[in-house]
Amino acid sequence: MSSYSVLAKYYDRLMGDFDYGAYVEFIKDKLSGEGADIACGSGEITVRLAKAGCRMTGIDLSEEMLNVARDKARREGLDVKWVRQDIVQLELAHKVDFITAVCDGFNYVPQNRLGAVLDRIRANLKEGGTLVFDVSSEYKLRNILADNLFCEDYDDVTYIWQNTLKRDCVDMDVDFFEKTQSGLYRRVEETHRQYIHTQEKIESILKDKWTWQVYDGEKFGKVSQKSKRLLFICKSL
């Protein structure tokens, strides 16, 4: 089964350890005007930036995720545009002031396509526009997630998440046991793959086209060898 077909319903709950509030507080003063949140997932960042006063479009490849995002914006009474699109082929209706790609979106892009994605982003930004993105770090993927098993049990769903390290990526097999109205459980399998992007490789791609600063994406300070998330704030040249 395709990625996020079931996970979309439970994504926000399973991402409970991601501090969206602190993340938005750190980046919001660096953003203004009109923006696009690509690989927006359940729209949590998109909605928070819209509430902060930005005019937002949320873009994702998963229709299931976009449905969750639409409902979230509707409940908040926010006017957000939602578009189903592959970020590798990003094409906005017009150029925007900033683009965000938060919470591992770029980890789903193979290494040999990351440069093309960044070029598409740059082509859709106004002159001097801002790009904010993060990646799960090489340290996290190789030393925390790789070849590891994670489980969580809730009243309505249980999941088992098993990871396998390949040379340059981590394959993630997730089994959901979803409680049905009859009280029986339905098993659904999903597969994800996250690619390892090193800080050095990312910076080599950004060179000559962007200026940037990089931060620890959880502590919002200096990057260390054990930083689990790398947060880049970039300006197009």
Is the pLDDT at 187 greater than 60? The verdict is yes
Q: What is the mean pLDDT of residues 210-222?
A: 98
What pLDDT is recorded for position 3? 61
DSSP state of 180: P
> Which two structure tokens, joined as six digits, stand for 32?
């203004």
Give dist(CA 86, CA 171) in Å, integer: 20
* pLDDT-based confidence at residue 115 (cuts at 50, 70, 90): very high
- The CATH architecture annotation of domain 7-136+198-236 reads 3-Layer(aba) Sandwich (3.40)
Residue 34, number of CB atoms within 10 A of its CB: 16
pLDDT above 70 coverage of the chain, percent = 98
pLDDT above 90 coverage of the chain, percent = 93
CA nearest to 132, candidates 93, 105, 108, 114 = 105
Is 237:211 a contact under the CB 8 Å cutoff?
yes
Tell me the whole-structure pTM to 2 decimals: 0.95
| 104 contacts: CB under 8 Å, gap ≥ 6 | 134, 135, 136, 194
> Which two structure tokens, joined as six digits, stand for 65?
């995720």
What residues does 83 pair with on adjacent strands? 59
What pLDDT is recorded for position 13? 85
149-153 β-sheet, strand order: 149-153, 157-165, 169-179, 185-195
* pLDDT-based confidence at residue 12 (cuts at 50, 70, 90): confident
Q: What is the mean pLDDT of residues 68-92?
A: 97
> Which two structure tokens, joined as six digits, stand for 236?
């197009």
Say if strands 96-101 and 34-38 run parallel, antiparallel, or are unpaired.
parallel
DSSP state of 107: G
Question: Where exactly are the structural domains of the chain?
Answer: 7-136+198-236, 140-195
Is 140-195 a CATH 2.20.25.110 domain?
A: yes
What pLDDT is recorded for position 1? 45
What pLDDT is recorded for position 6? 79
What pLDDT is recorded for position 163? 98
Is 49:56 a contact under the CB 8 Å cutoff?
yes
